[in-house]
C-alpha cells in the first residue's frame, strides 16, 4: 500500500449537522483503498484531533507518511499535532481553483490548466522554465502563487516525500458521491450503507486478486502501461555506460539522451523516480539487459568476467518486481 493518505470531509444533510470524513489510500494498481471514515460534530480542533488519533491507532506515525488534503487549517493543525513525523501536501485541484480566482484579464480555465501542469513537472529545469512563462503570461495569478502558497506542498519537483501520482484529494470525492444519498439519512442507516459498500468492494477485489494468474509479476495497470511502451522502447538506441551498476544511456526518438540506473531504479527524466515504475527509458535499458542475459546464457565459453556478470545479473534478475515497480495485488499489500 502506498503511504499517502487522502483525507476529505463533507457536510451531512440529515438535519443533525456534522461532517462525514473519509481517509483513503491507494494500491499500486491505483485503486482506492478506504482506510477509515467517521462522523464528526463539526470541523474543530477536538474533532479532527480525535479522528487522527483513532487513525494513528491503526496507522503508526512515520516520516514516510504523506497526508493530502485541501488547505483546511484546522485539519492540517490536527495532522501536525498527531502525526508529527508525517509530511503534508496541498491538493493541487483545490489550489487551482484559488489560483483561477486571482487571474485577471485572461481565460481562467487556461490559467488553472497551466497551474496544474506546473505541479506535475518531473524535473526542476522543466518546472523553472514553465514557471517563468507562467509569471509573464499571468502576473496576478503568479503573485498569488508566489505569496500565498508553498511550492514544496504542491509542486512534484519540490515535494519532500513519495506521493506517486497522488496530488489531489479529489479521489475522496468519488466516495462522497457514492454515499451522497446516504448523507441525507439518519446516522445508523447511513453508517450501515457505507459499511455495506466497502464490504462489497473488498469482496470483489479479493475475488479479482484470487482469479489472477500467480505467474504475473505486474499489477494490471503497470502491465498495460509497459505493454504500450514496449514497442517504442525496443527501438530506442541503448548504450551501456557501466556494466557493473547497470547504467545505460538511452536516446529517444527526438535525439534527447537520458541516463538510466537499473540498480537505483532511476532515470534522468525522473518519471521512474516519482511514479515508482519504469519509464520508457528504463524499459529500453531492461530490454537491452535481458537480451544480453539471453545471449550470455547461450555462450559456450564463459569467461571469468562473464561469470561475474552472470552472478550480478542472477542477483539482479531476482528483483524484477521492484525493477519494474510492481507489487502483487494478491499479496494484500
Ligand atoms: Zn526515463
Distances (CA, A) of 136 to 131, 141, 142, 151, 294: 9, 10, 8, 18, 53
Does residue 209 belong to any structural domain of this protein?
Answer: no
Q: Are residues 171 and 310 in the same domain?
A: no
- Sign of the torsion formed by the C-alpha atoms of 66, 121, 222 and 293: negative
CA of 299 to the centre of ligand 1 (A): 31
- Residue 230 and residue 315 in one domain: yes
Specify the DSSP element, H or E, that contains 201.
Answer: helix 187-211
Q: Is residue 247 situated within a structural domain?
A: yes
Distance 291 CA to ligand 1 centre (A): 19
Domain assignment present for residue 314? The answer is yes
Which range marks the domain in which residue 266 is found? 220-331
CA terminus-to-terminus distance, the chain: 5
Q: Number of helices (H) and strands (E), helices first, in the chain?
A: 14, 9
How many angstroms separate the alpha carbon of residue 260 from the centre of ligand 1?
7
Phi, psi of 229 (to 5 degrees): -75, -25
Distance 259 CA to ligand 1 centre (A): 8
Q: Which of 203, 234, 265 is the C-terminal boundary of a domain?
A: 203
**Ligand 1 centre and the CA of 152: distance in Å?**
23
Interval 68-89: pLDDT, tens: 999 889 999 999 999 999 999 9
pTM of the model: 0.81
CB 321 within 8 A of CB 226: no
C-alpha of residue 201 to centroid of ligand 1, in Å:
35
Which triple of cell numbers denotes residue 234?
525496443
Q: Is 25 helix (H, G, I), strand (E, B) or coil?
A: strand
Task: Indicate if 17 and 147 belong to the same structural domain.
Answer: yes
- Do 193 and 246 belong to one domain? no
What pLDDT sits at residue 294?
Answer: 67
Whole-number Å distance, alpha carbon 193 to ligand 1 midpoint, is: 45
Q: Which of 203, 232, 255 is the last residue of a domain?
A: 203
Q: Is residue 208 part of a domain?
A: no
- Same domain (yes/no): 180, 298: no
Residues 135 and 240 in one domain: no
Cα dihedral 96/101/104/108 (nearest 10): 50
Residue-level pLDDT at 87: 95
Residue 271 lies in a domain: yes
Measured in Å, residue 266 CA sits from the centre of ligand 1 at 8
In this structure, the answer to whether residues 127 and 84 fall within a common structural domain is: yes
Number of domains in the chain: 2
pLDDT, position 245:
80
Distance 155 CA to ligand 1 centre (A): 19
Q: Separation of 86 CA from ligand 1 center, angstroms?
A: 29
pLDDT of residue 244: 78
How far apart are the CA of 66 and the centre of ligand 1, in A? 25
Q: Is residue 211 part of a domain?
A: no
The enclosing H or E element of 80 equals helix 73-82
Q: Are residues 27 and 170 in the same domain?
A: yes
**Does residue 90 share a domain with residue 16?**
yes
> Which pLDDT belongs to residue 219?
81
Instruction: Give the pLDDT score at 184.
Output: 86
Cell (9 digits) for 143: 503573485
Residue 255 has what pLDDT? 95
Beta strand 87-90 with 237-242 is unpaired
260 in the same domain as 150:
no
Look at residues 203, 232, 263 and tell me which one is the last residue of a structural domain: 203
Beta bridge partners, 247, equal 242, 261
Distance 82 CA to ligand 1 centre (A): 37
pLDDT digits (tens, 9 = 90+) for 34-72: 899 999 998 899 999 999 999 999 999 999 999 999 988
pLDDT at position 321: 37
Identify the segments of the chain with pLDDT beneath 70. Answer: 171-172, 214-217, 294-333
Q: Are 187 and 281 contained in the same domain?
A: no
Tell me the residues surrounding ligand 1 (ion) with CB < 5 Å: 258, 267, 269, 279, 281
Strand ranges, E, within the chain: 4-11, 19-26, 32-40, 66-69, 87-90, 237-242, 247-251, 257-261, 266-267
Amino acid at each position: 500500500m502506498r503511504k499517502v493518505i487522502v483525507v476529505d470531509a463533507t457536510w451531512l444533510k440529515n438535519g443533525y449537522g456534522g461532517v462525514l470524513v473519509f481517509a483513503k489510500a491507494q494500491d499500486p494498481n491505483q485503486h482506492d483503498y478506504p482506510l477509515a471514515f467517521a462522523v464528526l460534530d463539526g470541523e474543530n480542533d477536538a474533532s479532527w484531533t480525535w479522528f487522527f488519533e483513532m487513525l494513528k491507532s491503526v496507522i503508526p506515525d512515520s516520516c514516510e507518511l504523506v497526508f493530502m488534503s485541501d488547505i483546511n487549517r484546522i485539519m492540517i493543525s490536527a495532522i501536525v499535532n498527531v502525526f508529527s513525523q508525517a509530511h503534508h501536501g496541498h491538493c493541487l485541484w483545490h489550489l487551482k481553483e484559488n489560483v483561477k480566482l486571482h487571474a485577471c484579464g485572461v481565460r481562467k480555465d487556461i490559467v488553472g490548466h497551466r497551474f496544474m501542469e506546473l505541479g506535475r513537472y518531473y524535473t526542476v529545469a522543466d518546472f523553472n522554465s514553465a514557471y517563468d512563462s507562467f509569471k509573464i503570461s499571468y502576473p496576478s495569478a503568479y503573485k498569488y502563487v508566489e505569496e500565498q502558497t508553498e511550492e514544496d506542498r504542491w509542486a512534484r519537483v519540490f515535494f519532500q516525500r513519495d506521493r506517486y501520482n497522488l496530488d489531489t484529494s479529489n479521489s475522496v470525492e468519488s466516495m462522497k458521491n457514492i454515499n451522497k444519498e446516504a448523507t441525507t439519512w439518519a446516522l445508523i442507516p447511513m453508517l450501515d450503507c457505507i459499511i455495506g459498500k466497502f464490504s462489497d468492494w473488498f469482496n470483489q477485489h479479493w475475488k479479482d486478486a484470487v482469479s489472477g494468474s500467480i505467474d504475473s509479476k505486474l499489477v494490471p495497470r503497470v502491465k498495460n502501461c509497459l505493454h504500450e511502451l514496449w514497442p517504442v522502447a525496443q527501438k530506442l538506441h541503448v548504450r551501456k555506460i557501466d556494466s557493473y551498476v547497470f547504467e545505460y544511456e538511452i536516446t529517444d526518438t527526438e535525439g534527447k539522451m537520458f541516463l538510466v540506473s537499473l540498480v537505483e531504479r532511476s532515470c534522468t527524466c525522473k518519471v521512474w523516480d516519482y511514479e515508482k515504475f519504469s519509464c520508457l527509458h528504463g524499459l529500453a535499458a531492461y530490454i537491452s539487459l535481458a537480451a544480453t542475459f539471453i545471449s550470455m546464457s547461450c555462450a559456450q565459453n564463459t569467461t571469468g568476467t562473464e561469470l561475474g556478470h552472470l552472478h550480478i545479473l542472477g542477483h539482479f534478475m531476482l528483483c524484477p518486481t521492484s525493477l519494474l515497480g510492481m507489487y502483487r495485488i494478491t499479496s494484500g499489500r
